Amino acid sequence: MTDQQIREVMLARFGEVFAGQGDAEIFFAPGRVNLIGEHTDYNGGHVFPCALTIGTYGAVRKRTDRTCRFYSMNFEQVGVIEVSLDEALKPVKERDWANYPLGILWAFGERGMKPETGFDLLLYGNIPNGSGLSSSASVEVLTGYILRELYGFSDVTNQDLALIGQYSENHFNGVNCGIMDQFAIAMGKKDHAIFLDTATLEYRYAPLKLEGAKIVIACSNKKRGLGDSKYNERRAECETALKELQELVDIQSLGELDEATFEKICTRIVDPVRRKRARHAVYENQRTIQAQEALENGNVKLFGQLMNASHESLRDDYEVTGIELDTLVEEAWKVPGVIGSRMTGAGFGGCTVSIVREDAIEHFIEQVGMAYEKKIGYAADFYVVEIGDGPHR
């Protein structure tokens, strides 16, 4: 659907659910894909994501009372979720997906920004749920953007929206995510990736010049929930490894180490599994720095090789891929015209990202799709994506 078609469908549904469209406005926040730099953001390393033109749309209207009502066209079976601004906000299992926008409402309140009146909010997302393209972070940034625009919290910058989203997910939803997802969504820029140092939040935009190639996302259709996955476990393993290394070197994060220094001191990490986790964090950070330089220098071939090496490390050292993602990537590597391919997102299901020459895309989708369905037993979905802007009205 086009933006205009989505707008018409959403306003019609808004009228059915909340009685009358009135002065409902529509806002948008993108999803994101990370080209390289996985599981580095909570290890003080670099990431290289970009915002997409698919994402989450919100139709919203202020109310005159203290009630907030939430409805998702993606989870219509849940129905309308109603919350009062006068109650203490906390995550409730029965509120399902609405715990994400509620977390933002709570996080704004923690910063002293409390809406005087409630609102009706209807969401529609065209990001595949549980795909690893950050549907939850998209909802968080969208909600924060809406609160800022609707209630005049004008001091809140887009970078603040990213930090509020991360704070909410960490402390309200209980997922110890890093800053990358929310930052890429809040700070997205059309046709650019963001080279972000997650330790300092220093960043710069890098034009995506792929020389006759496009980004293709393959969704494994294996659903995952971050809170239920081993994501928090991986983070804890890295934190323990860091503490062990801090007995030898004065560092605040694994992202401060280069490969040579790590190899000299890595035996201080007692457990061999933790050592592998830390090795990935260090080497992946260096790969990301090299990949950004390669793209700036027009060396798309090297960029692709670094993507491939990233996947191998995520498979072997970090162990977050699984048969679905490995199959998609390994089949992609067999296709002529594929410059690079890797899993993207937290892993344990979700998506891969590939850079594919335009004249090979049709063959890529056909060949990888056929091999995947034969091996896994169900189909993958493919998206040729464009790089878009951050949240907007």
Catalytically annotated residues: 181
CB atoms within 10 A of CB 330: 16
Dmax (CA) for the chain in angstroms is 67
CA separation for the pair 29, 267 (Å, rounded): 44
Which residue's entry shows tokens 């309140």? 109
CA separation for the pair 260, 179 (Å, rounded): 27
DSSP letter string, 297-363: TT-HHHHHHHHHHHHHHHHHTS---HHHHHHHHHHHHTSTTEEEEEEESS-SSSEEEEEEEGGGHHH
Bridge partners, residue 62, by sequence: 119
The radius of gyration computed from the CA coordinates of the chain, to the nearest angstrom, equals 21
Take residue 240 and report the two structure tokens written for it.
């323990």
CA separation for the pair 291, 36 (Å, rounded): 8
First to last CA, the chain: 18
Take residue 225 and report the two structure tokens written for it.
């929930």
Cβ atoms of 29 and 138 within 8 Å: the answer is yes
Torsion of CA 230, 233, 234, 236, to 10 degrees: 160
Nearest residue to 331 via CA among 384, 370, 378:
370
CA separation for the pair 22, 59 (Å, rounded): 11
> What are the distances in angstroms from CA 325 to CA 81, 235, 298?
35, 21, 28
Q: What angle do CA 47, 203, 317 make, to 5 degrees?
A: 15
Cβ atoms of 126 and 149 within 8 Å: the answer is no
Which residue's entry shows tokens 């529509």? 26
CA separation for the pair 284, 44 (Å, rounded): 11
CA separation for the pair 279, 320 (Å, rounded): 14
